[in-house]
Amino acid sequence: MNYLVIFHTFSGVMALERYMKKNKIECETMPAPRELSVDCGVALRFQSENYMKIISEVSTENIHRVYEVNDSYHLVFEND
């Protein structure tokens, strides 16, 4: 599955990107789609079988939302 993570802050993007590289998980930092962007305007896209394992191993305070990406965006995690 492909996932897109939307962040509250740019430091959150950097923290998750570091985690991904350390664990040899390919990811791409990109501008957040306009219809999904709320705060920092940067998103991180990755492919995984278990996004919750990844999300649970990093600090989620800067993560705003996680979407499953197919032909559209399906919200799978939201952090208020």
- The structural domain count of the chain equals 1
How many angstroms separate the CA atoms of 62 and 43, rounded? 12
Q: Compute the distance between CA of residue 80 and CA of residue 77 in angstroms, rounded to an integer.
A: 10
39-43, 46-50, 56-60 — most confident range:
46-50
Residue 50 confidence class, pLDDT cut points 50, 70, 90: confident
> In 3D, which of 75, 68, 65, 62 has the Cα closest to residue 18?
62
Give pLDDT, residue 44: 95
What strands, in cross-sheet order, belong to the sheet with 73-78?
27-31, 42-47, 2-7, 63-69, 73-78
Confidence of residue 67 (pLDDT cuts 50, 70, 90): very high
Q: Which domain holds residue 24?
A: 2-78
- How far is the C-alpha of 39 from the C-alpha of 70, rounded, in Å? 23
CATH number at residue 30: 3.30.70
- Give pLDDT tens digits for 14-42: 999 999 999 999 999 999 998 887 678 89
